[in-house]
Each structure stands twice: as C-alpha cells, then as structure tokens.
Structure 1
C-alpha cells in the first residue's frame, strides 16, 4: 500500500466552494475520503498491469517454444520420410541382388549337372587312339619294285589296341568319325622320290610325296577326317621306287584316334 497523500490548500478550497450541500463538513470529509479511495485504486492497478504484461510475455515465450517444437517435428518428419525412402530403395536393391543370386545359383546348378552328364558320357564312351613310327634302325626303306605296305613297329600309343604293329593296319572298332594322320621323311638322298599312299579297305584314298631333286632332307605330312564302320581298315603303302627314312627322331609315322559316334 503506497503512503497516504497529503491534501493541498487547493483541494480544500475546491471542496468547500464547490459543494452546495448543507452538511459542508460531511461533504468535505466525503470528498477527502473519495479522493483517498481513488488514490488507493490507482495504486492497486499498477500490480495488475505488471501481472498482465508478465502473462503476455509468458504467452509469447510459450508460442515461440511451440513454434520451435513444431519446426523440429516437421524437420524430423522430413528426415523420417527420407529414411523411409532410402529404406525402400535398399529393400529394392536387396530384392534385385537376391534375384541375381538365385539366378546364379540356378546357373551353377545347371553347370554342375552338365559337368556330371559329361563325366557320365566320357565314362561310357569308347576310347581309341594310336601312334606308331618306323624308327630304328636308322636308314632308308626302299626303293621296292612294287607298292609295299608300311609297317610301323615302334608303337607310341595304342589305346583300344586297334592298331596292329605286326601288319601296320589300323582297324576301326566303332561306327563313327576318326582322324588319321601320316608323315614321311628322307635324309641324305637326291636320287629317289619320297612318298606315302593312304588306303582304306584296299581302296586308294590319297598320295603324299616330294621329288628327290628338291633337296637332301625333306619332310611331308597330311591327315584326313573319315567316317568308318566297325572292321574298316586304314593303312599306308610305299609307292614303287619311292623311299622313306627314319631314325630315333621318328620322322615317318602313322597316327589316328576316334572322334565321336554317328
């Protein structure tokens, strides 16, 4: 409560001359009392105004805090959407990788099965291969006055025992395609031609040769892919007045192997 205000002379005169009431004393007292009440009311208004301002500032602080929280929630919502989008993207990538991995597993399983099938086929497949040469003793074979079957006694390979080193003849064991190869060589000779004839079942197939005047040392070779039936025979013959040379280098040879069934 603020200190009581002292009444001035002007206040007293205003009260005395401004009042028409017979009870002037009462009017004076009433005036002073009313004036005091006004002053007391003015003093009471000041705390109320301070409280109102304080309440306004508090409301403004709350509004600012709420706005800040709202902005934070919106920001977190945006971040959450971005995370969801990234998660969906990762899920799609994982799904694609899983699909690719599944395809790779399927291809691997197919490849493994193909390998197993090939193993089974090779296990049951007939194997035929031979290679033989004139070899030692070193020197010329021929010339002879008639065509002569060449016997390659030095056997290098004879899988299936289809080649006979006593006759120089290869006999087909199975119906299918075979590869036959033959070579010839000569050394220290400028008088006789070098040559080899290839036969199938007494039928002439091809000739391989060189003239003697081409040089002292000569080498020739050839091969053929041919279909044979079981029992068909392949061999080579030395033409009349032709020669061949061989030594430990196996310059003159006869080889063949089975390719596949038909």
Structure 2
C-alpha cells in the first residue's frame, strides 16, 4: 500500500481515539455539574421556603405591632378623656354685680340681663364675666343661688334665673323703707352648652358696692 493512502487512515484513527478519550474525561465533570445544579436547585427551593416563612413572620409581627399601637392609642385617648372628665367635674363660680364702686342697676321697662363683673371664683372657666352667662361644660346636675337687694321705698328688687330662654325661679322683694333683699336657689339638669344667667325683672332695681351685696353663684353637683 502506498504511503499517501496510509496517512489519512492514521489521522482518522487518532481523531477517533482522541474523541473517545475526551468523552471519557468529560463524563465525570458533567456528573459533577449536574449534581451541583441539583444541589443549587434544592438550596434555592429551601431559601424560597425560608423567605416565605420570614415574610409571614414579618406580616404577623407587623399586624401585632399595628394592633399594639392601636391599643396604646386607645388607652391614651381613654386617659385623656378621664383627665378631661376629672377637670370638668371641678366646676364652681361665684361673682358679685359690680366690678368696682357702688350703685344701682335699673329700673328698666323690660327684662335686662345682669352681668356680674366681680368674679371671686371660677373653677372650670364656665362663667363669662363679660356676658354674665354660665355655660355648662358637661351634662349634669347644677345648683345655683343668687342674692339681690336694694334700698326700700323707690322700687322693688327682683331677678329671675334663666335656663337658655326659660324662666325658672325668681327672687323678689319690695318694702317701703330700709334695705330690702331677696334670694333663691335652684338645681337644674343641664346639657352640654346650656346657658344659665339672671335677668332683672322689669321695673325693679338691684344695688351693689364693695361689700358685694348682690351675688350669683353656681356649681356642679354631679355629672350624668
């Protein structure tokens, strides 16, 4: 056989031998890669499970935190309301007619609101010395008293306690000489925002000076 024919056969034989050897060498590496991929897939699956667990735990903690925050807020609101109620329960005022000096108010031809300017006590800040009106800060039973007087002979003295626009009790006195005085008291059930004040009776008058003869007082008995 010629040499030119033998060379291609040798090259072909070497090529086949090399390919077989390469396949045999690569086979373990492929198995290792497959095992590594399988291990990585299992690890990713485990991580996904752990992430879902952590997400669920975070959601539960967030829900508990939200619930706890709401409970703390609710308790704070209750405490604030209790503090307000305790403050509101302390309601009392007492005032006399004139802020300074002495003199008589009236008589007038119609009902005229009396403004008691000299405020001795105003616990709860429910009495307005500029208008003479007491405004109930909370629903409850309130007791009011008023004392009025004037010098006799000229005119009578009279004042009626008004709840919003309703006349309740009146203090009235008339005598021909000396100093005449009258007083009255009443307990009223008031809603929040109800107004209470005194009106001078038409044709009457009221006197006051630094000794505070004519006064208007009230206080909360209990809440409802």
TM-score normalised according to structure 1 size: 0.51
**What does residue 186 of structure 2 align with?**
224
- 1:233 maps to 2:180: no
Deviations 1:157-210 (A, max 9, x none): 0111100000000000111111111110113x3120111111001111122111
Instruction: Pick one of 171, 196, 210 that aligns with 2:135.
Output: 171
Contact 2:169–2:185 under 8 Å retained in 1: no
**What does residue 171 of structure 2 align with?**
208
Normalized per residue, the structure richer in helix is 1
Instruction: Pick one of 147, 171, 184 that aligns with 2:111.
Output: 147
Contact 1:185–1:252 under 8 Å retained in 2: yes
Structure 1 position 212, deviation (Å):
3.4
Question: Partners of 2:199 and 2:145 in 1: how far apart?
Answer: 14
TM-score normalised according to structure 2 size: 0.59
Question: Partners of 2:159 and 2:150 in 1: how far apart?
Answer: 12
CA RMSD of aligned residues (A): 2.0
Normalized per residue, the structure richer in strand is 2
Structure 1 position 240, deviation (Å):
1.1
Question: Partners of 1:145 and 1:124 in 2: how far apart?
Answer: 44
**What does residue 260 of structure 1 align with?**
222
Task: Name the SS for the 2:205 alignment partner.
Answer: strand
Contact 1:172–1:233 under 8 Å retained in 2: yes
Task: Name the SS for the 2:160 alignment partner.
Answer: strand
Task: Name the SS for the 1:230 alignment partner.
Answer: coil
Question: Partners of 2:155 and 2:215 in 1: how far apart?
Answer: 19
- 1:194 maps to 2:157: yes
Structure 1 position 259, deviation (Å):
1.0
Structure 1 position 253, deviation (Å):
0.6
Deviations 1:223-256 (A, max 9, x none): 1111111001100000111010000111111100
Tell which has more relative contact order, 1 or 2 (C-alpha 8 A, sep 6+).
2
Unaligned runs of 5+ in 1: 1-119
**What does residue 97 of structure 2 align with?**
134
Q: Runs ≥4 in structure 1, deviation > 3 angstroms?
A: none
Query: Which protein shows a greater Rg?
Result: 1
